[in-house]
Structure 1
Amino acid sequence: MRLEPITWERLADALAVHVDGLSPGDGGPWLKVGVDGPPAARPGEPAGMLAEALRLRGRAVMTVGTEGFLRPASLRYEYGKEDPDTYYSGWFDTAALWREVFGPLEPGGSGRVLPDLWDPVTDRATRSPYRALVPGGVLVLHGPLLLGHWFPFDLTVHLRLSRGALARRTEEAWTLPAFERYEDEVAPADAADVVVRADDPRHPAWSGLR
């Protein structure tokens, strides 16, 4: 895969231009963008920059992080607090993401999205109010292990780290086998519309829009 150097600002602008030119099509009057990457790649930061670039173009945007959709501790820690298989397939509440985030943005949906569901610190529901995304608005969902769930994204961006960079920058080393499994089973660099190499966060490179 050929990658070209780019700044995060230029990346956000290029993605915003592309998203702004998309038509919602059969997925309802809302567009959905996924920014996928391990915590070490900090996917929330480029997702936020993209959201701001879209707002400057006059688009309504809602950003949602999967860290707000963790499953209760009793389920996450059923096989111990450092089980990579549970992290891979049982840490994040994908059913709640379908129900509370994507469901309201389906054709005929209400547009009322729940921005988060579970607080991992208190291990209780956040009780956050629903937020309305107007028709024509854009959802930007960010977090790890996003691809492979058949989420109805109109654009997917994968932040890629080499194995060495991922190991150096990951604080919770026990999760590394989960990302190896993700590579083997999902191949996110092949599945995503855009790949961004982020080994050195000061000097990203991207694949362009494929």
Structure 2
Amino acid sequence: MGAALDAVLYVETVAEAARDQGARGEFVSRLAGAISSVTATHPLRVAVDGPPASGKTTLADELAVVLRAHGRDVIRATIDDFLVPRAQRYRRGRYSAEGCYFDAHDRAALCRVLLDPLGPGGDRRFRHAVFDGATDTPLSPPASTAAADAVLLFDGVFLLRPELFDRWDLRIFVSVPFEQTVDRARDRSTAVTGSTADTADIERSWRERYIPAQELYFAAARPTDRADIIVHNDQLDRPTWEVRPH
């Protein structure tokens, strides 16, 4: 993390300790400003990590809007487009926490087609996806060329694991109590389908697969210790952040 970002975030953190954070829009604008302050000789690769239903995708989308409004070329991508085939994802069982952590994503492809081309010495020719989870089929979109000062905003789970950690130039972790993510997942499903029929399956998925997988991740990778920024997103209208010293 660059010295410019250290300075910006130090000022922000001190100020936020003494006053109310303000509206979510103001928060997102400040965080986008902190991202913009980071300099690199290649496109800036930003991880937006966090548990399922923590709000990381929404936050990454909001940051993209603000950065684009300020003239930055933004690449939006997600770990959901780097899945492996369903049979491999669930080979240990549909509710296996180990399967969720170890088997769900094609990390080698993520590095090969996206993170490494955008990194030091890369040619900036990238693909943002390799798999369509809805149809359980591979994808091969045409390669694009990133601007030298582009920002990659990449959201997903397990992004700060050892195999990926050094591929990021800025690491954001969206923190929400695990119990609250269960409530959000139930609410989200009901809002989309208009029914509570899937409540039992969501409950089991979170209790047996997703939360235990996050516990494995925390034990193996210590993401909240290693992130550059932690966003506390338990109050959606009033998120706060902190900088982790390294």
Deviations 1:26-67 (A, max 9, x none): xx4211111111221131111011112111221111011000
Q: What is the aligned partner in structure 1 of residue 60 from structure 2?
A: 47
- Hey, what does 2:39 align to over in structure 1? 23
- Alignment-derived partner of residue 6 in structure 2: none
Does residue 196 of structure 2 align to residue 161 of structure 1? Answer: no
Question: What corresponds to 2:102 in structure 1?
Answer: 89
In 2, the alpha carbon distance for the partners of 1:169 and 1:19 equals: 27
Task: Structure 2: state its 5+ residue gaps.
Answer: 1-12, 186-201
Q: Which moved more, 1:47-56 or 1:169-178?
A: 169-178
Q: Tell me whether 62-71 or 187-196 shows the greater mean CA deviation.
A: 187-196
Regions of 4+ moved over 6 Å? none
Q: What do residues 90-141 of structure 1 show as CA deviations (whole Å, max 9, x unaligned)?
A: 2111111100111211333221221111111211112322222111111111
Aligned equivalent of 2:241: 206
2:51 corresponding residue in structure 1: 38
**Are 1:6 and 1:206, in contact at CA under 8 Å, matched by a contact in 2?**
no
Structure 2 distance, partners of 1:7, 1:194, is 19
Larger radius of gyration: 2
Matches within 5 A, 1:118-157: 118-148=131-161, 149-157=164-172
Q: How far does residue 209 in structure 1 lie from its aligned partner after superposition? A: 7.3
Hey, what's the Cα distance between the residues in 2 that align with 1:160 and 1:109? 31
Residue deviations 1:71-108 (CA, integer Å, cap 9, x gap): 11121121122211010122111111100111211333
- Could you give the per-residue CA deviations for residues 147-185 of structure 1, whole angstroms, max 9, x where no partner exists? 123242221111111132134334331311001122222
Further displaced range: 114-123 or 5-14: 5-14
Q: Take 2:118 and 2:237, find their aligned partners in 1: how far apart are those partners? A: 35
Q: How many residues align?
A: 207
State the Cα RMSD in Å.
2.2
- Distance in 1 (alpha carbons) for counterparts of 2:32 and 2:244: 12
Q: Among the aligned pairs, what percent are the same residue?
A: 29
Is residue 159–residue 165 contact of structure 2 (8 Å, CA) maintained in 1? no
SS in 2 for 1:142: strand
Aligned: 1:178 with 2:213: yes
Please tell me the residue identity of whatever aligns with 1:191.
R
Q: What letter matches 1:156 in structure 2?
A: R
Segments of structure 1 that go 5 or more residues without pairing to the other structure are none
- Report the residue type matching 2:98 in the other structure: D
Task: Letter of the 2:172 partner, please give it.
Answer: V
**Highest relative contact order (Cα 8 Å, sep 6+), 1 or 2?**
1
Instruction: Tell whether the 8 Å contact from 1:39 to 1:144 is kept in structure 2 after alignment.
Output: yes
Alpha carbons 2:125, 2:146 under 8 Å: kept:
yes
Look up the SS of the partner of 2:111 in the other structure.
helix
Tell me: CA distance 1:209–1:51, structure 2 relative to 1, closer, same or farther (3 Å).
farther
Query: Structure 2 length as normaliser, TM-score?
Result: 0.76
